[in-house]
A and B are shown apart, each in its own frame.
Chain A
Amino acid sequence: MKIAFTADGTNWDAMIDPRFGRTAYLVIYNEESDELQGFDNSAVKNEAHGAGTATSQRIFELNPDVLITGNGPGDTAAKALAHMKLKIFTGAQDLTLRQAFEKYKNGELKEF
């Protein structure tokens, strides 16, 4: 399983970025290889419009099975994400990636 997080940093102690489209980083955790990899999203973050669609495009390319984020994607991004085989969990703002991942494992996050 590959799990994607919206985050303000690239390690396990980084905080979940509550925003989807304008998240600072996308972080991918690969459960099989136990690898954590961060992707800078700052180019998209500062766009005036279309941050949601642009970040969705990146999610598609990174191809995770699960996305963990804060507020949840807005309407436009949600439409884009609906085209992918991806489970989305929201409400992880104020958690570190580690805490968010634990909550996800325990089934404590809300599915979008």
Chain B
Amino acid sequence: MINRTPFKIAIASGKGGTGKTTLATNLAACIAEQQEVVLVDLDVEEPNSGLFFEGRLLHSEDNLKMIPQWDESKCTLCGLCPKLCNFHAIIQLGPSILVFPELCHSCYACSELCPAGALPMIPRAIGKLNHFQNGRLHHIESRLNVGEEQAVASIAKSKKYAADKLPYVNVHLYDSPPGTSCPVVEAIKDADFVILVTEPTPFGLHDLTLAVETTHKLEKSFGVVINRDGLGNNEVIRYCQAENIPVLARIPNNRRIAELYSAGRLIYPEFPEIREALKDILDYCLSAERSRP
């Protein structure tokens, strides 16, 4: 048998609240009716996909970040470390060195360049990674502690955990954070296919164009899912046609869907046409050419 790596599908959007989590959770649950699937919630600042499943907690661990710890007995107070830190995470107040863990980027510069070896690196918990299972569905989330600024390392950690622990599961879905900056790049940079979720409104279109730009920059294959179809105008469709971007599905604008979502429930069991759409989306993704490594 050929040793395959999982096919990784990232579900992203420029604008928040367009339905990424709705699509990710419904797609995951729908796939799980037939085969095993992994859903990795990479919105580590506001992880929501767990609200839609009752899972059994299989594993939980701290997400760690390495930070320097001041060893007063070795320190010569030479004053170098505050100057080395580009992030102002170390200051010197007279005879004390203070380290601010939230600001540290774990670059090790202070620790390794300290002439006295007075700043050894130690682990610090910045959040938790949880692995839940519900039938064939594996759900992995990292949850950043409030006040921690750096989402990127936890995003990388979740992906790696899924890849290491569940390499035999064919499909890994990534529920990405909103936006277009560093956390999003981290979330989609090693995906094989990206689904951009948008809504047919001026905000939706504008943010879609930004997301498309980011996705192009990362040289990813991608397609668009239009959520709340019928709500606004036709500009998103026109844009996709003009740019030759495949529209994978259109999920109708329906108050009932909003109500189900608000209660933390899946939508496709009540809407056969959405179940069909989800299958089409998955087929399209899997048939798409894998992005360049």
Asked if chains A and B are in direct contact (CB within 8 A), the reply is yes
Tell me if B96 is interfacial: C-beta within 8 Å of chain A: yes
Stretch of A1-9, A24-32, A73-81 at the chain-chain interface: A73-81
B91 in contact with A80 (CB, 8 Å): yes
The docked-state distance in angstroms from the alpha carbon of A109 to that of B270 is: 60
Closest to A48 in B: B87
Pick the contact of B91 from A47, A51, A57 — CB < 8 Å?
A57
0 or 1 for each of B70-107: is its CB under 8 Å from A? (1 = yes)? 00000000000010000111011110101010110000
Task: List the B side residues contacting A56 at CB < 8 Å.
Answer: 91, 93
Report the minimal beta-carbon distance from A23 to chain B, rounded to whole angstroms. Answer: 15
Contact B91 A54 (CB under 8 A): yes
On chain A, the residues within 8 Å of B89 by CB distance are: 50, 53
CA distance A84 to B102 in the complex (A): 21
Q: Is the CB of B149 within 8 A of A83?
A: no
Which residue of A has the minimal Cβ distance to B94? A60
> Which residues of chain B come closer than 8 Å to A80, judged between CB atoms?
91, 93, 98, 100
Give Cα A83–Cα B89 distance, bound, in whole angstroms.
16
Chain B residues with Cβ below 8 Å from A50 are 87-89, 100, 103
**B96 proximity list for chain A (CB < 8 A):** 83
In contact, A57 and B87 (Cβ under 8 angstroms)? no
B147 an interface residue at 8 Å Cβ cutoff? yes
**B89 smallest CB distance to A (angstroms):** 6
Contact with A along B145-160 (1 / 0, CB 8 A): 0010100000000000
Q: Is A49 part of the binding interface, using a Cβ–Cβ cutoff of 8 Å?
A: yes
Task: Identify which of residues 46-93 in chain A touch chain B, using a CB-to-CB cut-off of 8 Å.
Answer: 47, 49-51, 53-54, 56-57, 60, 75-76, 79-80, 83-84
| B87/A49 in contact, CB under 8 A | yes
Are B102 and A60 touching (Cβ within 8 A)? no
Q: How far is the CA of A3 from the CA of B252 in the complex (A)?
A: 63
Q: Can you offer 12 A-B residue contacts whose CB atoms are under 8 A?
A: A49-B88, A49-B149, A50-B87, A53-B89, A53-B91, A53-B103, A56-B93, A57-B93, A60-B91, A76-B102, A79-B98, A80-B100
Q: Give 16 new A-B contacts, CB below 8 A, not counting A54-B88, A60-B93, A76-B102.
A: A49-B103, A50-B87, A50-B89, A53-B91, A53-B98, A54-B91, A57-B91, A60-B91, A75-B147, A76-B100, A76-B103, A79-B100, A80-B91, A80-B93, A80-B100, A83-B93
Q: Taking beta carbons and an 8 Å cutoff, which residues of B are in contact with A? A: 82, 87-89, 91-94, 96, 98, 100, 102-103, 147, 149
Top 6 nearest A-B pairs by Cβ distance? Answer: A50-B88, A57-B91, A60-B93, A53-B88, A54-B88, A50-B103
